[in-house]
Structure 1
Amino acid sequence: MRTTLFVLLLLNAWYRAAAQAPTPLTARQDKVSLTFAVGPDGYPTYAVSYGPKPVINSSRLGLSFADGRGFDGPLVLVGSETKDVDETWQPVWGEVRNIRNHYQQLTVHLRQPAATGRKLDVVFRVFADGVGFRYEVPAQPGLAYFTVQDEQTEFNLPGNHKAFWIPGDYDSNEYAYTTSRVSEVNTAPIEAIQMKSAPNRVQTPLMLKSDDGLYVNIHEAALVNYPAMFLNVNVQTFSLTSQLVPDATGTGAKAYLQAPEHTPWRTIVVADNAPAVLASKLILNLNEPTKLTETSWITPQKFVGVWWEMHVNRASWNYADTSNLKLAGTNWARLKPNGHHGANTANVKRYIDFAAQHHIAGVLVEGWNVGWEDWANNWKEEVFDFVTPYPDYDVDELQRYAAAKGVKIIMHHETSSSVTNYERRQDAAYRFMKQHGYDAVKTGYVGRIIPRGEHHDGQWMVNHYAHTAQLTADSHIMVDMHEAVRPTGLHRTYPNWMANEAARGNEFNAWSSGNPPEHETILPFTRLMGGPMDYTPGIFQIQLESWNPARNKGRQVHTTLAKQLALYVTMYSPLQMAADLPEAYNKHLDAFQFIEDVPVDWDDTRILAAEPGDYLTTVRKAKGKDEWYLGSITDENPRQQPVKLDFLTPGQRYEAIIYADGKGANWQKNPMAYRISRQVVDSKSALTLQLAPGGGAAVSFKPVKK
């Protein structure tokens, strides 16, 4: 009886203390303000506003643990502190030379009375363009190892915003975007790629636009040792609740952690205009500085490669057509070649010659290594060894030939999602690369992950991607990951992690319903918020039947040729592929000149005009040069885009070379019509770009010698 009375008195004292919680805590930067409070019920909440407009209404915070004693119950605020940070740093490569990191930080210290005083910190950083926050579990007695079952993180929207979303598939980001009101989110009618999703679950980055003119982007930063965050949408209340990707045990466990530990940052970018969202460096600023002590070997570059010809059915990845490799034993020469293998020595030399002729640094070669016949989505553990070439691919001869031409070959490692097999073989694979002059690798994770049941976006795979970034860095290898989790700014920490796919890329135009013309106007506001994308632009042969009439009937890229040029500016990546075949480019070398000229590393970037789903005009200044490059794209609607040239150096005259949609151009009816014109301009000049339906324009500005 005395014990019961003591507990009641203790709880009564705690509730009195909670009811007398201090005035809500605030942090602010320019128009963005954050408010944190612990309510009378003991639950912590936060809210965000932009000037007088609410961005996120009061929303819950918390972590649930598998032992039932997580930080999802009543908590007590025991202290807080603030600090101001204003610094500038230089990325190894990127869209701008200098990045300002200016924020006010609020750290709140919480205690859990019901679990022997467990402690949790929540750290908020408030920038002029948004807010980042994360949970931090400090070292403490009685809490060493713990399993996160869920997060209680909410983003309660003040209205039924317009949303640009894809389904919350734990294993794929390769969907076309749906534009709808939050109340209309429903993934059920969408054809699944590898769907493991609830009907109202969406992926981040999630782009939103309010009726009162605010642009809001919700994502995360510095995803390390933790599963990716998805969002469950309440279509009645417009509330978004975090959903973490589960592991393979079937228990609902999400993350296995050891204190001290912290979650990734949850990010909210907000502005009253669309260009400001694209200009935000909030996500990059929330990542840790580079772990690499020496980075001179990291070289942003363009590349061509043996790739698109497989997608348009001109060649195959596999050397033979049989899958019965036991007949061949270890003697791959016993396999009967099919005559369609793309990665043969003579064909690769053809790409090397083209790259050398047009000052392209790299040549990607897919299908060079044995094992493609044995894959066929059989969920087999060991398919590739990453060091054994097919009989018709002469590694040593191609190394010599490429070096003589001043070109580097880019390695391809398709893991067939047998990730444990890849990890066993990575050291040998990277040694093989360095022995044969390869400085960059494109990895792939097509299919269901082995070990069975793990997800592409779960903690196990997130750790694999970071491990691969570190291993490649140790060998001075740059990496481009396909079918990986969408990026969260980790290219600041691992600048050799140059690009990801992690979205519906250009290749979908070759073998599916394709990407709608609005697709490339949405991706910068969604997928690219976290980092560069290997979108593989530069397709010139828009209508694909000419490559293989029987297998490509009716298929085409859903843009004009001029828009493909503009993508080199609007879709940022330090690794940019000129994805089409050399013979397609040789027919249009005047247009290819833009691809040859356009840089992949920049001193400055300006977003001149933008509206998600409609249009985008971006201009960038080349690294170390007084040259500017502009890309302008539109959706399915024709558009007239005025451009002031006040970004140019005052007093300097430039030759503007304008690559535009030609007369009658249309992505459906006349996609390959383009025209090239020249004029001399300066910072007081203006252009008016005529964009065809599904079209675009690309412009280079080079100084005129005085």
Structure 2
Amino acid sequence: MRKRILLFAAALLASAGAHAQTIHSPNHRLALTFALTPAGEPSYQLSYGSKPVIKPSRLGVLLRGGAGMEQGFVVAGVDSSAHDDTWTPVWGEVKSIRNHYQELAVTLRQPQQQNRALVLRFRVFDDGLGFRYEWPRQQQLAYFVVSEERTEFNLPADHKAFWIPGDYDSNEYRYTTSRLSAINTLPIKQLEMRAAPYTVQTPLMLKADDGLYINIHEAGLENYSAMFLNVDTKTFGLRSQLVPDAMGNMAYLQTPDHTPWRTVVVADNAPAVLASKLILNLNEPSRIADTGWIKPQKFVGVWWLMQVGKASWNYADSTNLKLATTDWSKLKPNGRHGATTARVKQYIDFAAAHHIEGVLVEGWNVGWEDWVGNWKEDVFDFVTPYPDFAVDELRDYAAAKGVHLIMHHETSGSATNYERRQEDAYRFMQEHGYPAVKTGYVGKIIPRGEHHDGQWMVRHYARAARLTAASRLMIDMHEPVRPTGLHRTYPNWLASEAARGNEFNAFSEGNLPEHETILPFTRLMGGPMDYTPGIFKIKLDDYGPQEKGRQVHTTLAKQLALYVTMYSPLQMAADLPENYEPHLDAFKFIEDVPVDWDDTRIVAAEPGDYLTIARQAKGRDEWYLGSITDENARQQSVKLDFLRPGQRYEATIYADGKGADWEKNPTSYRISKQQVTNKSTLKLRLAPGGGAAVSIKPVGGK
């Protein structure tokens, strides 16, 4: 259904300040008002019933080498419409998604600047707002350079915030919970190039004292630099901060063009934030016509043993090696190389025995000896294996076992080198039976001076998604910009890392027990995360002196629950096969849990505290439930009213055991079974830093 109203400037009013336009969400709870200030500055405000969400906030874009597009506007036209349809994702948390919104498109012109045109497009959903800047094709403005974007989100109060510092090259931080007035990133020490001391990354999760939950992010980031937020700790105003390139510019555009959507998800309860599909709805439909080859899956991998220092990615310890001149067969092996033919066969055997579809192998290819920290361009060629990795033999061995290998392409941050070699690398994958690739961007970016979250790299990630799709390959990106819903447009882009993953427990002070209760409200708002759960050997001391005192900051039962609470269509059983062998009764949940779903119910949630989610398996009357907590023990009562009426089910409960505690007794777990119906209630006891995982399968008849 669409209803259009078109008004032109001649029929409008003489005073710019009187041009206020208001639209409501379909359920009328949210109201968006657009207006021009007396100086011709675009502004907007958003309210939820009688509660202000965003106070009057200005909009504008500054251009390099000329007058900006932030003031001096008059309204040339207003286009209002309604939209309501339903679409089916290729894979996802639900079987279908309703896309229902009211739209307001305001055409503005600058009489003093050759009548240049700008369109501000607002879409108001029941669960929030999306808006973006659009530049129609026009003679007055063809090619232009964005020097700054002045998008404001002026908040009405000193909200509680869940944030990480603005870093143009890393998302891998612990979350801080504080009031907006207390935000200061200076005390946080870490990796790369950070923005100003009061700049934070999106998605930014906020909780107001009046009971509203607000999430600010962006959608459809494909040809622009990522948006950070500068925080005014006195007025609680937020202003956009884009990532600069090597020249200090933010974006290079050509009309017709547009920015990504700026998004504000709003709800009066935390579960509704997690249930929102606003960001997905603002992305374009799939550009891949035939998606039948795209398969959500689980995998194991030659990876964790390198993280804990039990093996190395590099085959030799030599340095100063060059791709074109080194005879790799003559290198002296260091005896610690992880990706050997024999070891990969062990992983293939384990995967086949436990119905795991894939095996990831890192460190299989030449070049690992001297790339770290050298800012070197030509590190990897992505097609030459080390002497102890038999590509053809492993391809045939995996195929005979009904398993496939997953390729790993660590670019070392050298995107230029990767782009030169991508077509050859993807052809190599096709020839050797690899249907999916995990990419990595560890290190400073080449082209030098560019950033992981700048426009150049944003375009690179989208290009990688397109090229892999053209080769019918799936992709999982590590160290990219944080996702913004582009997996709707490129459904072969199964997952990304782009946050502090489970691996940080192996080589740092680790992730706090609350970490996994915050990530769904922040990083995962934009898309699935390859978090690498499933670590069963919680205490890491036995791996050697480098791991002394380190551990995973969860219980074993919580590691199982993460397969449900940390959504991804690509899930890794990340631990070593030998660490699963003593706990195969618990590993059964990892075997069983799907990675694609028909329905999702957010049962209970509070960012930083707890989360309980139930999901229905794709095409089956089976449900899987995950419940996790922070450092505090909790009791969770879960009504099973989402089950089919009249049907009996068997619930297998993988719970924290007697005395379980993430720090003192993390591997204590208990497995029990009970019969349930849609009238049953499960009572789950979560230990400090703990969790529970439940599989619910039908038994008998009605």
Q: Name the TM tier (shorter chain).
A: over 0.9
CA distance in 2, matches of 1:270, 1:406: 46
- Report the 3-state secondary structure (helix = DSSP H, G, I; strand = E; otherwise coil) of the residue aligned with 1:586: helix
- 2:622–2:697 contact (8 Å) kept in structure 1: yes
Instruction: Give 2:173's aligned residue.
Output: 175
CA distance in 2, matches of 1:50, 1:368: 54
**Structure 2 letter corresponding to 1:372:** W
1:245 to 243, 246, 250: 243
CA distance in 1, matches of 2:24, 2:275: 22
Q: What displacement does 1:29 show?
A: 2.7
The more displaced of 36-45 and 617-626 is 36-45
Instruction: Give 1:583's aligned residue.
Output: 578
User: Structure 1, unaligned stretches of length 5 or more?
Assistant: 1-12
**Structure 2 letter corresponding to 1:207:** M
Q: What displacement does 1:67 show?
A: 2.1
Give the 3 Å change call, closer, same or farther, for CA 23–46 of structure 1 in structure 2.
closer
2:354 to 351, 358, 374: 358
1:335 to 331, 334, 338: 331
- Report the 3-state secondary structure (helix = DSSP H, G, I; strand = E; otherwise coil) of the residue aligned with 1:125: strand
**Structure 1 letter corresponding to 2:353:** Q
Q: What displacement does 1:556 show?
A: 0.3
- Deviations 1:303-346, CA, capped at 9 Å, x for gaps: 00000000011110000112143699432111111111110000
**Structure 1 letter corresponding to 2:185:** T
Q: What displacement does 1:507 show?
A: 0.2
1:21 to 18, 22, 25: 18
Give the 3 Å change call, closer, same or farther, for CA 20–277 of structure 1 in structure 2.
closer
Q: What displacement does 1:23 show?
A: 4.1
**Structure 2 letter corresponding to 1:490:** L
CA distance in 2, matches of 1:657, 1:21: 62
- Report the 3-state secondary structure (helix = DSSP H, G, I; strand = E; otherwise coil) of the residue aligned with 1:472: helix
Superposed counterparts of 1:657-676, under 5 Å: 657-676=652-671
Given the alignment of the two structures, is residue 464 of structure 1 paired with residue 447 of structure 2, yes or no? no
Instruction: Give 2:480's aligned residue.
Output: 484
Superposed counterparts of 1:555-594, under 5 Å: 555-594=550-589
Superposed counterparts of 1:627-642, under 5 Å: 627-642=622-637
2:99 to 101, 122, 126: 101
CA distance in 2, matches of 1:471, 1:376: 27
- Report the 3-state secondary structure (helix = DSSP H, G, I; strand = E; otherwise coil) of the residue aligned with 1:683: coil
TM-score by length of 2: 0.97
**Structure 2 letter corresponding to 1:140:** Q
- Deviations 1:95-132, CA, capped at 9 Å, x for gaps: 00000000000000101122010000000000000000
User: In the comparison of the two structures, how many residue pairs are matched?
Assistant: 690
- 1:565–1:698 contact (8 Å) kept in structure 2: yes
Instruction: Give 2:118's aligned residue.
Output: 120
- Deviations 1:615-649, CA, capped at 9 Å, x for gaps: 00000000000000000000000000011010111
1:424 to 420, 425, 445: 420
Instruction: Give 1:35's aligned residue.
Output: 33
- Report the 3-state secondary structure (helix = DSSP H, G, I; strand = E; otherwise coil) of the residue aligned with 1:564: helix
CA distance in 2, matches of 1:205, 1:143: 32
- Report the 3-state secondary structure (helix = DSSP H, G, I; strand = E; otherwise coil) of the residue aligned with 1:373: coil
TM-score by length of 1: 0.97
Given the alignment of the two structures, is residue 308 of structure 1 paired with residue 279 of structure 2, yes or no? no
Instruction: Give 2:501's aligned residue.
Output: 505
- 2:20–2:36 contact (8 Å) kept in structure 1: no
**Structure 1 letter corresponding to 2:308:** V
Instruction: Give 2:6's aligned residue.
Output: none
1:293 to 265, 274, 289: 289
CA distance in 1, matches of 2:17, 2:57: 20
- 2:158–2:181 contact (8 Å) kept in structure 1: yes
Instruction: Give 2:52's aligned residue.
Output: 54
Instruction: Give 2:4's aligned residue.
Output: none
CA distance in 2, matches of 1:240, 1:496: 34
Q: CA RMSD in A?
A: 1.3
CA distance in 2, matches of 1:423, 1:153: 33
- Deviations 1:462-489, CA, capped at 9 Å, x for gaps: 0000000000000000000000000000
Q: What displacement does 1:90 show?
A: 0.2
CA distance in 2, matches of 1:434, 1:141: 46
Given the alignment of the two structures, is residue 272 of structure 1 paired with residue 268 of structure 2, yes or no? yes
Q: What displacement does 1:18 show?
A: 3.4
Q: What displacement does 1:22 show?
A: 3.1
The more displaced of 326-335 and 315-324 is 326-335
CA distance in 2, matches of 1:117, 1:297: 49
CA distance in 2, matches of 1:327, 1:510: 31
The more displaced of 265-274 and 326-335 is 326-335
- 1:27–1:106 contact (8 Å) kept in structure 2: no
Give the 3 Å change call, closer, same or farther, for CA 292–557 of structure 1 in structure 2.
same
Give the 3 Å change call, closer, same or farther, for CA 327–117 of structure 1 in structure 2.
closer
Instruction: Give 1:158's aligned residue.
Output: 156
CA distance in 2, matches of 1:441, 1:407: 15
User: Structure 2, unaligned stretches of length 5 or more?
Assistant: 1-9
Instruction: Give 2:408's aligned residue.
Output: 412
- 1:608–1:617 contact (8 Å) kept in structure 2: yes
1:63 to 61, 65, 82: 61
CA distance in 2, matches of 1:168, 1:282: 24
CA distance in 1, matches of 2:193, 2:64: 26
